[in-house]
Structures are given as C-alpha cells and as structure tokens.
Structure 1
Amino acid sequence: MAMPLVHSIVEDDEWFQNLHYAKHMVTRLHFYLHDTLSGKNPSSVQVAQASTTKKSPTIFGAVFIVDDPLTETPEPTSRPVGRAQGLEGSAGQQELGLLVDMNFVFTTGMFNGSSLTILGRNTALRPPSEMPIFAITWICDRKDTFS
C-alpha cells in the first residue's frame, strides 16, 4: 500500500504568500529531565531486547519506555513543569547510540498543553547530546512562565 507522506505547498496559496510578514520569535526553554533507571519507581523501563542484547557492550537491541519528570531546577523535588514520554532503543553496535522518540509535554506555566517531539540519535556517553526537534505543538495563551 502506498500513501502520501508529505503534502506539497502551492506557492499561490494565500497563507504561503503571507509567511514573510510573520515575526520571528526565539523561545528559550530551560528545564531538567530526570531519568530513573532503578529503584521502586523507575521512570525508564526495558520492555524488549534482542537475543544477543545481554552479550552486547552497547546493549544493542534493547528497547525502553520512558515517562521522565521535567523540573525547573536540577533537584528532582523542584517544581514539575512536564513529562518526557516516549521510547529509546539501543541502535549502536560499536558505541552506545540511542534512537530516541520522545514527547516533552508541558503541564504548567505559559506552555501548559504544549509539546516538543524529539526524534533522533542520542550519543548518551559523549556529552553534550544534541537532539533534533521534530515537531512543535505550541499552546500559549498565558503570561506566566517556568524559567
């Protein structure tokens, strides 16, 4: 079965012609993700693995489901601002390289109800990790902020 994955833009559409009038905005978000892998309430759990995962130095083939808290400060007990929910899979055989598909869902402040979708490779052991933002759903109708 074949289906279109991209909708083409027709340059004579009115909305497309008006794009150059839009104001450019820069939004800086500052928050901390807390990934808990063990203990009585882990926020990241392994849900699958390949038959060779246990022998792999990079846990190649392991898949994790994640529901991590996002907070205002590095302290896990600081004010929550949202959740990081999604999955991570170990996709590197020579070095730890995670395939990450995660939604950052904001639950307080100016961005309450907004989300960022992250899709890409995370080189977890080679900081800094840079992740591409795949999609943004922005709901912004209040003046309060969270850092």
Structure 2
Amino acid sequence: MARILPAFIVFFLLCSFSATSVSAGEEQGFGRPLDRKKHKLKKEKLSHFNFFFHDIQSGRNPTAVQIVPPPSNTSKTFFGFVNMFDNPLTLGPELSSKTVGKAQGFYGSASQEEFALLMVMNFAFIEGKYNGSTLSILGRNPGATSRVREFPVIGGSGLFRFARGYALATTHELNMKTGDAIIEYNLYVFHY
C-alpha cells in the first residue's frame, strides 16, 4: 500500500500538469494579437465609390430572377418572395457604359405591413486595382418609398479586408411594368 500511494500521487500530478499545459496551449492558439505590418495592413483610408446597378427582370436574358414566389396572392407587400441576381455595375446609368463589376446576391420581401426588402449582396469588382476584390452589403431596403436608402457595408475581400462603411442607393429609373430598375450607389468605405 505504501508503494501504491506515491505512484498514485505521481500519476495524479502528471495528469494535472498535462491538462494545464493543454489548456494554456488552447488559450494561446484561440486568439492572439497580430502585427499589422506582417499582414500588410497599412494606414486605414476612406474611399468613395459611385456606380449604377442594373436590375433587369424582363427580356430574354434577365439578370434578376424570382426563385421563391410569395406564399399567397393576398399579401399587398408580396411577403416571402425572393429574387436572386447577378446584375451589372456600370459607371453611368446606361447599360452600355463601362462595366466595373457585378452585384451578386438576393433580395426578398421581409415585411408583412409595408414593402421592405432584405438585401444581401456582394459587389464584385473587375476594374483597375480593385479587380477581384468585393464589398459586402446586408440590410433593409424600403424600396422606392424612400428616395435614398442606406445600407451597412459589413465587410469585403481582397483590397477590402476589414472594410466597413455605408452605401446610399437612389433610384435612377424604375419601370413599374417590367420591374426593371437602375439604382445609383454611392459607397463610403474604410479599408486598408
């Protein structure tokens, strides 16, 4: 019995030390401060972007299509419908003007009392130094009932890592018959 007790104590101490070292290692690996320079994060800057979003629902080649119809025809807000889009972004309001990227995402009617859309989209740029970079938007869109709509910029990729800011959307043109719309976007973005 005298030999078993010291062996048990040694075993207990070894188990305690190994559990402590695993816990300490997990804490260090989960979160730690990083060097900005090592991750190529220079001084943060504020940029302004201006372009036009073409939401085309009509014709032979629509860029926005309904993927979920509203569950009933009795809703005056079309509550529950969802459209997916891959819309061109251009420098001017004409579709023929220079393309600078694509807006890709979806919007759906998210209110039962008033018309309001939930917008989820990425602006994927193809022009200049921003080629391959994206900005992400997520927010509420009261539609044409508000002259200017504001959305948060919640992030991005490429040159827009750690991006944050806001986007202002103004309807340039809306065809009530076809649903086609041209929306001007002004984005104000902090990024590195």
The two structures share one fold, judged by TM-score above 0.5:
yes
* 1:134 equivalent in alignment to 2:154: yes
Post-superposition CA distance 1:7-53 (Å, at most 9, x none): x854xx2437x9xx95231111111101112122211110112422x
C-alpha contact 2:71 2:81 (8 A) present in aligned 1: no
Query: Match for residue 107 of structure 2?
Result: 88
In the superposition, the TM-score normalised over structure 2's length comes to 0.60
- Judging changes above 3 Å, is the alpha-carbon distance between structure 1 residues 138 and 27 closer, same or farther for their aligned structure 2 residues? farther
Match of 1:60 among 79, 83, 106: 79
Post-superposition CA distance 1:69-103 (Å, at most 9, x none): 00011111101011001111110111111111111
| Larger Rg computed on CA atoms | 2
Query: Match for residue 5 of structure 2?
Result: none
C-alpha contact 2:53 2:89 (8 A) present in aligned 1: yes
SS at match of 2:129: helix
* 1:119 equivalent in alignment to 2:138: yes
Query: Match for residue 91 of structure 2?
Result: 72
State the 4+ residue runs in structure 1 displaced beyond 3 angstroms: none
Question: Aligned-pair RMSD on alpha carbons?
Answer: 2.4
In the alignment, the residues of structure 1 paired with residue 42 and residue 101 of structure 2 have an alpha-carbon distance, to the nearest angstrom, of 29
Counterpart amino acid of 2:81?
A
In the alignment, the residues of structure 2 paired with residue 137 and residue 71 of structure 1 have an alpha-carbon distance, to the nearest angstrom, of 20
In the alignment, the residues of structure 1 paired with residue 137 and residue 90 of structure 2 have an alpha-carbon distance, to the nearest angstrom, of 18
- The structure with higher relative contact order (CA 8 Å, sep 6+) is 2
In the alignment, the residues of structure 2 paired with residue 71 and residue 123 of structure 1 have an alpha-carbon distance, to the nearest angstrom, of 23
Structure number with higher strand proportion: 2
Q: CA deviation at 1:129?
A: 1.0
C-alpha contact 1:112 1:139 (8 A) present in aligned 2: no
Gaps of 5+ in 2: 1-29, 161-192
In the alignment, the residues of structure 1 paired with residue 71 and residue 108 of structure 2 have an alpha-carbon distance, to the nearest angstrom, of 15
Gaps of 5+ in 1: 1-7, 141-147
C-alpha contact 1:119 1:131 (8 A) present in aligned 2: yes
Match of 1:110 among 112, 129, 132: 129
* 1:43 equivalent in alignment to 2:53: no
In the superposition, the TM-score normalised over structure 1's length comes to 0.78
Query: Match for residue 29 of structure 1?
Result: 49
Query: Match for residue 144 of structure 1?
Result: none
> How many residue pairs are counted as aligned between the two chains?
129
